[in-house]
Each structure stands twice: as structure tokens, then as C-alpha cells.
Amino acid sequence: MIKRVLSIETSCDDTSVAVVRHDGFVESVVSANQDLQHAPFGGIVPEIACRNHTLNLLPLVEEALKKSGQDWDGIEGIAVTNRPGLIGSLIVGVSTAKTLAQVRGLPLIGVNHLEGHLQAAFLKDDQFSAPADFTYPFVALAVSGGHSTVYYVPEFGRYEVLGTTMDDAAGEAFDKFAKMLGLGFPGGVQVDKLAQTGNPTAFELPRSLIKEDNEMMSFSGLKSSAARLIESLGPAETQKRLNDLCASFQEAIVDVLIAKLDRAVRVKKCKRAVITGGVSANSRLRARGQEWAQKMGVQLVVPPIRYCTDNAAMIGRVGVERLNRGERDALDMGPSPSSQPADFVGENR
Ligand code: KG4
Ligand code: ZN
């Protein structure tokens, strides 16, 4: 059995390295975010992202090892995100991981980033672990800057897509809305902060597809409505009502996300759920998720924020499990901007 892996995540703009044990215990996770480098452009610039991964990655490998208390002799495998993501960013992580695996003679495994988000529920550390009886099957809402999807997960490695967004991801909607308000990048967290003292019913905004009998989502109508609202208010009134605007926008997104998770739980008759991905850092989504779970008698796991936003620990968890199931990737493994067809099942994938 492989006892622990070193894992690497560079699929987007965060560089992250972790040392993760076979039982999901995170011995160390260290990350470098690039928000300052991308902020002047109002979004992620792929070439800046991969250049910064090159600068950050090997120092983080050293730091992750040191923090874990391990040296290279304690590392028995290498896991790396190799799909989906920005290709230049993935290339940095994949090339580094392959080199480390070759030089150390270690087994290598490429991991789907989204599977990482879904498996983050099973990570453990001194402060967090899911309830001991939390297991499969579960329903999951994975919401990030690039994805908003509801899954049914009957067992490790099987991810059934129940529904997904037809246009913008929830995080993308938060970021675009924040940009309209001049709140900087990434904007989700700013909207969350301002919304805390705002009135969520101050402005009426659309909840597209909320009543549809499926788990499909759409956030582009909400974005256009918000743009029209901001225009009609004008700059002075917009500034005065920032908190109410943020609270109303956030509430519209959270209403849709909870409604779709709720439907999935009912349709699948499944009393276990996970909310994960960068947007699950949102305080309103976390609070509403807990309220909903209590009301429905659903066992809900929302990993701590450090495992919800992009991180290498979740990649290590998937990697060590797959290596222990006998899976290996060869040194000619490549990065891919998209998932592989076999990664997910279901007609909406
Ligand atoms: O999972 P993640 O770190 O990266 C991707 O794989 O996309 O998600 C990043 C997204 C961004 O759109 C960011 O604005 C959003 O998560 N986000 C939030 C919050 N924190 C991060 N959205 C709403 N409220 C937050 N507190
Ligand atoms: Zn992500």
C-alpha cells in the first residue's frame, strides 16, 4: 500500500502542493495565490498564471515536504492535476510532477481537478474531518469559477452529472458582477463581505430555471439583469446601495444552488450531500446549506474553506486512492484543457 503522496495543483491561478496520507489526512498543504498579479487585468491572464507557477512551484514542493515532517524517502507517489484547466498552467504542474516521479522512481497519477473538489469532503486534518459515518452515495454541488454542477456519487470514481450550468458558472457570475461594481478581482469574496450588511430582498433579480424539473442552471440572465439595474440606478445610487445590491445578487445565486441541490437529494432519495468548490467559501451559501440540511434531515459536509478553494490536498486524496487501486500513469502522460469522456457519466456531462 502507498502510504503517502506528494500532490501538485496548478490548473488555474493558484499554485499548491500537499503531502497527503492514504486515509486522506493532510500532513501539509501550502499554496501561493496570484490575485495581485491578475487584479490589474480584472481576470486571470493565462500567460501570467503559468509564468508564476514556474516561479512558485518548486519552492512550494520544498516547503510542503518540510512542513509535513517528511523527506523524500517518506513520499511513495506523485499526484498532479492534469485536467481540466488552463493548458499552460497544467503544463507547469504536469512537467514538474513527471520529473519528480522519474528522478525519485515513484509511481505517477494524473487527477481530474473536479474529482478533487468532490473528494475534498474526505480530507482530514487536526481541525476537520467529515463525520465518521459519512460515506457513499452522496449528492454534490460543486461550484467554482469555471464550473457549477450537481453530481450523484454512488461510489469512489463514479460521478454522475445530474445538471450543470448552461452558460456562466456561479463563481464567474460573482466575479463579473463584482467587476461591474468596480470591486476588484476576484470579486466573489468582496460581494460576500458587502452582502453581510445588505438586504437580500432589496432588489428583485431573476432565478433562472429554478422551477425547471431538472438540475440545469443558468446565470447569464441574472448577470444581464444586474447590469441593467446598476445602469438604471446610476453611479451615485449604486455606490449608496452597494450592500443591498450585493446581498440581492448573492441571494439569487444561493436560492438557485440550494433549489438544485434540494431537487437532486429528492430525486436520488439520498440523505447525504456535499457542497464544494471555490464558491462554497461563500458565507451565505454555507449558512443556507446548513439550514436546508437540518430541515431536510440531510447529512451535509461542507469542507473548510482551505479545502473548498483550489488546493493540492484534494488532488492528493484522489491520487493516493487511485494509486492504491493499482492505477498508474506513464511518463508520457499529458495535460488536457478538458475532462476525459470517462471521467463523468450522465447525459448532461
Ligand atoms: O474553486 P476555485 O478556487 O477555482 C476554480 O476552480 O475556479 O473557485 C474560484 C471562484 C471565483 O469565482 C471566486 O470569486 C469564487 O470562487 N469565490 C467566492 C467566494 N470565495 C471565492 N464566491 C462567492 N463568495 C465567496 N466568499
Ligand atoms: Zn477549482
Residue 79 confidence (pLDDT) above 80: yes
pLDDT at 186 (0 to 100): 82
Strands (E), the chain: 4-9, 15-21, 26-32, 78-83, 108-112, 138-143, 148-155, 158-164, 272-276, 299-301
Q: What is the DSSP letter of 121?
A: G
Q: What is the pLDDT of residue 176?
A: 94
> Band of the pLDDT at 184, cuts 50, 70, 90?
confident
**CA nearest 133: which of 141, 118, 142, 121?**
121
CA of 341 to the centre of ligand 1 (A): 25
Pairing of strands 26-32, 148-155: unpaired
What does R_g of the chain's alpha carbons equal in angstroms? 20
If pLDDT is split at 50, 70 and 90, which confidence band does 128 have?
very high
Q: Which residues contact 222 (CB under 8 A, 6 or more apart)?
A: 173, 205, 206, 207, 208, 249, 252, 253
In this prediction, residues 171-180 reach a mean pLDDT of 95
Mean pLDDT of 314-329: 98
82, 45 contact by CB (below 8 A): no
Of all ligands present, the nearest one to the C-alpha of 171 is: 1
- Going by pLDDT thresholds of 50, 70 and 90, the confidence category of residue 93 is very high
Q: Where would I find the beta strands (DSSP E) of 169-324?
A: 272-276, 299-301
Q: Is residue 41 scored above 90 in pLDDT?
A: no
CA distance 116 to 255: 25
pLDDT at 338: 96
DSSP state of 126: S
**CB-side neighbour CA atoms (13 Å) of 207:** 18
Report the amino acid identity of residue 170. A
258: closest CA among 141, 149, 151, 165?
A: 141
- The answer on pLDDT for 140 being more than 90 is yes
Task: Look at the block and give the residue holding cell 508564476.
Answer: 52
Quote the pLDDT of residue 192: 98
Decide which of 37 and 348 is more confident. Answer: 37
pLDDT of residue 209: 96
Choice between 348 and 86, residue whose per-residue pLDDT is larger? 86
Ligand 1, atom nearest to 250 Cα = 23
Ligand 1: atom nearest CA of 186 is 14
| Strand pairing report for 4-9 and 78-83 | parallel
For residue 44, what pLDDT band results from cuts at 50, 70 and 90?
A: confident
Residue having the nearest C-alpha atom to atom 7 of ligand 1: 145
Among 43-47, 119-123, 251-255, where is mean pLDDT lowest?
Answer: 43-47
What is the pLDDT at residue 193? 97
> What is the band of 42 on the pLDDT scale with cuts at 50, 70, 90?
confident
- Choosing from 185, 189, 194, 279 the residue with most ligand 1 atoms within 8 A of its CB, the one to mutate for a pocket test is 279
Cis peptide before 186 (omega within 30 of 0): yes
Tell me if 120 sits within 8 A of 16, measured CB to CB. Answer: no
Residue 199 CA to ligand 2 center (angstroms) comes to 29
Distance CA 320, CA 18 (A): 12
157 Cα–ligand 1 center, Å: 24
Confidence of residue 118 (pLDDT cuts 50, 70, 90): very high
Burial class (CB in 10 A: 0-12, 13-18, 19+), 213: exposed
Predicted confidence band of residue 78 (pLDDT cuts 50, 70, 90): very high
